């Protein structure tokens, strides 16, 4: 599988992480991603079946708009790991300036049509790698070396696949 993240992107993310203070504090504490959405209109609302979040962009005259809608499920206490992922994932579409005007984050087990999945696969993978890089601190990985991805994920309150992606990034780029 081709990499969906490169050293240039990692360097840029390191600057954002430092500027927003995302990795300050105890490495085993969950990262609080809300500062990333500081300049974006976002809200919880009703979503279609299987949809966790939607980022929409549109233009009226010369003015451009972007907003992010999160499923009401993500406001529930048992959904904090998915909420963290959804915030960073949707922010990543904006940060990467992905082409298009509508991005949908599907709940596991749901997905778009095969053509939509193919067209958006690279963008979606890039957002997942960025989510892993931001939400899984390097210090947390190193501090829990030898533990399973599921254990680490529970400790830092993220989905386990992000821990696996973060291990891959560490192996590939050394950070």
CA distance 117 to 83: 22
Residue 2 lies in a domain: no
| pLDDT tens track, the chain, 175 positions | 446 899 999 999 999 999 999 999 999 999 999 999 998 999 998 888 889 999 998 888 998 889 999 999 999 999 999 999 999 999 999 999 888 777 778 776 555 555 455 446 788 899 999 999 999 999 999 999 999 999 999 999 999 999 999 999 999 999 9
Output the pLDDT for position 118.
Answer: 47
Output the pLDDT for position 1.
Answer: 40
Residue 73 lies in a domain: yes
Quote the domain boundaries for residue 117. Answer: 7-173
Residue 110 lies in a domain: yes
- Count of domains in the chain? 1
Output the pLDDT for position 113.
Answer: 54
Give the chain as a 3 state SS string.
CCCCCCHHHHHHHHHHHHHHCCCCCCCCCCCCCHHHHCCCEEEEECCCCCEEEEEEEEEECCEEEEEEEEEHHHHCHHHHHHHHHHHHHHHHHHHCCCCCCEEEEECCCCCCCHHHHHHHHHHHHHHHHHHHHHHCCHHHHHHCCCCCHHHHHHHHCCCHHHHHHHHHHHHHHCC
Residue 42 lies in a domain: yes
N-term to C-term CA, the chain = 20
Output the pLDDT for position 5.
Answer: 92
CA distance 81 to 7: 26
Residue 143 lies in a domain: yes
Output the pLDDT for position 50.
Answer: 84
Residue 1 lies in a domain: no
Residue 52 lies in a domain: yes
């Amino acid at each position: 599988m081709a990499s969906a993240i490169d050293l240039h992107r990692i360097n840029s993310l390191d600057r954002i992480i430092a500027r927003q203070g995302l990795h300050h504090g105890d490495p085993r504490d969950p990262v609080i991603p809300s500062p990333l959405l500081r300049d974006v209109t976002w809200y919880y609302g009703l979503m279609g079946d299987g949809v966790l979040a939607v980022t929409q962009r549109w233009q009226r005259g010369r003015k451009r708009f972007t907003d992010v809608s999160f499923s009401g499920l993500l406001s529930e206490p048992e959904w904090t790991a998915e909420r963290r992922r959804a915030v960073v994932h949707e922010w990543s579409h904006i940060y990467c300036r992905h082409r298009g005007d509508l991005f949908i984050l599907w709940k596991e087990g749901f997905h778009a049509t095969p053509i939509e999945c193919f067209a958006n696969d690279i963008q979606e993978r890039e957002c997942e790698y960025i989510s892993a890089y931001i939400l899984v601190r390097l210090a947390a990985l190193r501090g829990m070396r030898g533990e399973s991805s599921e254990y680490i994920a529970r400790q830092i309150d993220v989905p386990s696949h992000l821990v696996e992606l973060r291990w891959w990034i560490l192996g590939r780029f050394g950070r």
